[in-house]
Chain A
């Protein structure tokens, strides 16, 4: 926090000073009011004859003072806003940048949803905290302290009122905050429950209807809804105590002030106008208390939020650049006795893998889900780091590379096609923003995407909506492949990235790949044997180990696991010409 405060502390201080000015005027103004009433209207110094010129002159002065105070208030608003929002913005930008450089493991640790709430909700909380603190804290402390001093300087006999009213209000506010805070947590839980029932019923409408369970779902919803309403009501009712009770205390204090003041006036110790000023001061003091309660509320939320943001900011990127000079690019990948387990999970995912993938080779990896094939290729661009052993690209350990340089050399197509909500063209251009139109079209043609793109309403300029939901699964995969192909890389990794393509398209893609990039190294992971049976070499993985390596024919003869897969997909391998 100190780092951010350093930059803006002057603005914050100035803002606070202006606030002092504003509050000072607020506190001073009742005195002038008193003077107008006592001296002017009641004419106490003038044998009970109102003094109009005094009212007018004090009135004019008061207007001037009030304008000054107002200006201070506006300036204070300007400065605290500049302070708080810039501070929030800095934190937000830093967090985002930090997150961008997180390793996958770190992102997973936080979970995407939590990162999003942190950077949106928590930043706002901290921002509010910064603003409220500079503005509200000064204001209410001045109201409290200044108001008390002003009130007591009018007459010490008002002491009793403050001494009774202030603790009462502290007690009340404290009690309500103490009671409601745990309820807010419960409330969020109940709300989540209602939301998830709704969500399930909308998403699962076919199942609900097919099993004719509308009645049951309604009951389930009613239960969740009733629980929510009940909790919400409890919160609302607790909160609704706050203001009325505070008002009662405030107004009773006013009554007491008049009562005490009357005695003083009767005893000739006080002028009647003083009572009015005292009434104003007491309401300022008690309003200050109320504001203090609000500030504590923001403070406790803000502190929690700041803690959550600090967790993000204090997380150093897990991957360190090697920074060694990169060897010449040729497209070779080597695994040297690689062991791997996911962080925080001791179960080995890869066991002693050694593999040598040659430049220009079409290399395939096959195996059942969970056998470790995705984990294997994720080590190449350092999405994760090997636990033991080395992964080498073009002859150098990936850990020695500058991360950017390493990833420049590799084009990776993910299992889940992640498209952004811009146009199709921009989505493809993402891998190489300076590529020419011809390059984009060529990549799209190779990826078998050009035809469907041209059929879209605006061709390449068609916007992709909601994470690509406007496109079918196969179309999204082809767009992602086009993006990967546009990149100037020697190594292409397809991480089960053709699963949604029909076989004809997949075959055409394969053929085009061979033609367009004859010397690129292609590493392809697949579920279907038909996708990879033409590969130069196929590695068969089972439970983290390589159990077979060779061509399709070789593996059919030598590898039982491969044959099993083949047979399960072929169902007895019907021989039919």
Chain B
């Protein structure tokens, strides 16, 4: 996972500017998004203003310095050596100021971009944690990830860099034109016309380049996809003797990619020499006409040397602005994606806070629910769970067992009916308070890349060491922890630090013990856990359920035979309820489920 989200800055190293001609995305509502984005910058108003002032000073210096340089050369040419030290002094000062301001500019725009990105990422994170589960489920995880990392980074880099470049570009342009006009109007017009030519050529090349770059991008994605898939599925590749076929496919795509890459890069690498050529041509034009003007006595010789510099200074920002435009468009498209997440309504935090519960009775009354309209998942579901009782939900995949958890914890809101806790509609209770009373152990064990201790004390960081050890013992997690290199201080990694699925589950049960909930939801793991660990898990779960109102989502019938009541679900409806013995006698769905599980012979 992490490999995909390498920092762009780290990758680019010193070449921080994004690739020229990289594919440009178009935002849908550019203007609106831009305004919204600007709010992030307007929060740093003072910073932006200072940056603007610095840029302006820098531009003034960079425009003035060549002026002094040409005057200095003029002075040499005309033999007026007395004014030379003064002019050189001015020139030095101008260049020094320019250097210092561009240093400040780099410093200010870096810190500005980091301030903005930090706030943007924070806002996004806070909002994602505040989103209802249903909203998070709607997005693919990779998609949310890339919004938080790539988009955010892209935006802040591009905007902060581009803004100052754009600003300085426009100022330079104005300043240069002003200076040129002051020196000589006809020569200015001449220079401008050569610049128009340069811009036209640039635009033409960039347009061509974009086509090939996006083609290359697509092929690269395809190739990387193939690599990832073939390596991830290397066992299948080997088992079916697919190595040659896979390599053949790979070679074809790789060759296509190389072809597209060569063309794209040839076009982009021609840009430099062509620009160089055009610059020189425009120099000759300036020189020829300059000399002609000088012959006529219309301009001084130093003016020509100034124009040589100005004509360069003039075409650069124009090209830059053209490129920046594309980058800004892409950044805005990214910003749109971020704002789309920020615009999703957060979970409501309103509602009453429950006092400490003496008892906890859960009642479902005629509950209906559908994830997608017209595809009901829970139909007219009514069930009462008395305080301290253990209820097991049984049924095939898709029968709606897991959905009941989502509804009880208000991860999703029911469409009609009521769910009551001690007679209070759970929609009137604040989600935080409701969830405080419910503990869960989920099928896919989620542990955090933190120490074992912090994972166990997740619900209650203030728990004493003694209580922690008791919880670990009760959940059979202490055996797992004892074998870890740093015991409670072992940091779990994303991949689990060598813990098996079963061991992770024991830790999750330990975590539930620490949270000491009134109501417990257990979603049994389906994945194959070895027999010994499974015994440990079952024992721990039993211990955890003692005295708590419990809902167990059971995938193995053997684990639930002790439940006070078994609820058999099918297509979102309750089909049978009763104890294990009662249901077996009934010879209904439960009976046949049981028979396929254990008495395979009878089929």
A576–B584 CB distance below 8 A? yes
A85–B76 CB distance below 8 A? no
CA–CA, A11 and B423, complex, Å: 83
Residues in chain B near residue A430, CB distance under 8 A: 236, 240, 242
A113–B77 CB distance below 8 A? no
A565–B531 CB distance below 8 A? yes
Q: Mark A228-257, 1 if CB is under 8 A from B, else 0.
A: 010011011101111111011001101100
B42 on the A face (CB < 8 A): no
CA–CA, A410 and B235, complex, Å: 13
A62–B280 CB distance below 8 A? yes
Residues in chain B near residue A342, CB distance under 8 A: none
B188 on the A face (CB < 8 A): no
Which of B111, B223, B236, B409 is close to A414, meaning CB atoms less than 8 Å apart? Answer: B236
B446–A207 CB distance below 8 A? yes
CA–CA, A119 and B113, complex, Å: 33
A551 on the B face (CB < 8 A): no
B103–A100 CB distance below 8 A? no
Residues in chain B near residue A421, CB distance under 8 A: 225, 229
CA–CA, A41 and B304, complex, Å: 9
B10–A188 CB distance below 8 A? yes
Residues in chain A near residue B206, CB distance under 8 A: none
A115–B231 CB distance below 8 A? yes
Q: Nearest-CB distance from B116 to chain A (Å)?
A: 10
Residues in chain B near residue A462, CB distance under 8 A: none
Residues in chain B near residue A197, CB distance under 8 A: 449
Q: Nearest-CB distance from B118 to chain A (Å)?
A: 5
Q: Mark B125-149, 1 if CB is under 8 A from A, else 0.
A: 1101110010010000100110011
A329 on the B face (CB < 8 A): no
Residue of A nearest to B397 (CB): A472
Q: Nearest-CB distance from B602 to chain A (Å)?
A: 9
Known: A187-B10, A412-B239, A533-B600. A112 touches B95 (CB 8 A): no
How many A-B Cβ pairs are below 8 Å? 434
B598 on the A face (CB < 8 A): yes
A524 on the B face (CB < 8 A): no
A82–B294 CB distance below 8 A? no
Q: Nearest-CB distance from A288 to chain B (Å)?
A: 15
CA–CA, A542 and B111, complex, Å: 61
Q: Mark A58-70, 1 if CB is under 8 A from B, else 0.
A: 0110110011011
B442 on the A face (CB < 8 A): yes
B458 on the A face (CB < 8 A): yes
Residue of B nearest to A222 (CB): B122
B281 on the A face (CB < 8 A): yes
Residues in chain A near residue B251, CB distance under 8 A: 93
Which of B117, B136, B229, B301 is close to A41, meaning CB atoms less than 8 Å apart? Answer: B301
CA–CA, A116 and B234, complex, Å: 12
A3 on the B face (CB < 8 A): no
Residues of chain A from 414 to 435 with CB closer than 8 A to chain B in the complex: 414, 418-421, 430-431, 433
B291–A52 CB distance below 8 A? yes
A418–B396 CB distance below 8 A? no
Among listed B315-323, B373-381, B430-438, interface-contacting one: B430-438
Residues in chain A near residue B73, CB distance under 8 A: 258, 272, 275-276
Q: Mark A185-218, 1 if CB is under 8 A from B, else 0.
A: 0011001101111111111111111111110111
B420 on the A face (CB < 8 A): no
Residues in chain A near residue B308, CB distance under 8 A: 33
B2–A73 CB distance below 8 A? no
Known: A210-B440, A255-B95. A241 touches B128 (CB 8 A): no
A195–B231 CB distance below 8 A? no
CA–CA, A116 and B6, complex, Å: 14
A347 on the B face (CB < 8 A): no
B118–A41 CB distance below 8 A? no
Residues in chain B near residue A474, CB distance under 8 A: 397
Among listed A353-361, A448-456, A496-504, interface-contacting one: A496-504
Residues in chain A near residue B352, CB distance under 8 A: none
A571 on the B face (CB < 8 A): yes
A383–B238 CB distance below 8 A? yes
B76–A504 CB distance below 8 A? no
Among listed B13-21, B383-391, B570-578, interface-contacting one: B13-21
CA–CA, A81 and B98, complex, Å: 36
B305–A276 CB distance below 8 A? yes
Known: A81-B269, A99-B231, A571-B561. A204 touches B287 (CB 8 A): no
CA–CA, A225 and B117, complex, Å: 10
Known: A368-B531, A420-B233. A240 touches B603 (CB 8 A): no
A482 on the B face (CB < 8 A): no
B128–A201 CB distance below 8 A? yes
Residue of B nearest to A86 (CB): B258
CA–CA, A530 and B599, complex, Å: 7
CA–CA, A200 and B125, complex, Å: 12
Residues of chain B from 390 to 419 with CB closer than 8 A to chain A in the complex: 396-397, 409, 411
Residues in chain A near residue B305, CB distance under 8 A: 37, 276
CA–CA, A431 and B229, complex, Å: 17
Residues in chain A near residue B265, CB distance under 8 A: 77, 81, 85, 131
Residue of A nearest to B58 (CB): A244
Q: Nearest-CB distance from A544 to chain B (Å)?
A: 14
B95–A251 CB distance below 8 A? yes
A96 on the B face (CB < 8 A): yes
A388 on the B face (CB < 8 A): no
A97 on the B face (CB < 8 A): yes
B290 on the A face (CB < 8 A): yes
A458 on the B face (CB < 8 A): no
Among listed A101-109, A148-156, A158-166, A320-328, interface-contacting one: A101-109
B88–A55 CB distance below 8 A? no
CA–CA, A269 and B9, complex, Å: 51
CA–CA, A570 and B559, complex, Å: 10
Known: A93-B254, A207-B442, A247-B102. A59 touches B287 (CB 8 A): yes
A47 on the B face (CB < 8 A): no
Which of B96, B231, B284, B439 is close to A59, meaning CB atoms less than 8 Å apart? Answer: B284
Residue of A nearest to B133 (CB): A205
Shortest Cβ-Cβ A-B pairs, 9 listed: A240-B106, A73-B273, A369-B530, A77-B269, A251-B95, A204-B446, A248-B99, A236-B110, A70-B277
Knowing that A77-B270, A254-B91, A574-B598 touch, tell me 15 more A-B residue pairs with CB under 8 angstroms.
A29-B280, A37-B301, A93-B250, A96-B254, A195-B1, A203-B141, A206-B440, A216-B461, A239-B16, A244-B99, A251-B95, A272-B77, A467-B232, A530-B597, A574-B584
Between-chain CB contacts (< 8 Å), 15 pairs: A89-B254, A115-B231, A191-B10, A198-B149, A205-B129, A210-B409, A211-B458, A232-B114, A240-B106, A258-B69, A262-B75, A487-B240, A502-B397, A504-B603, A576-B584
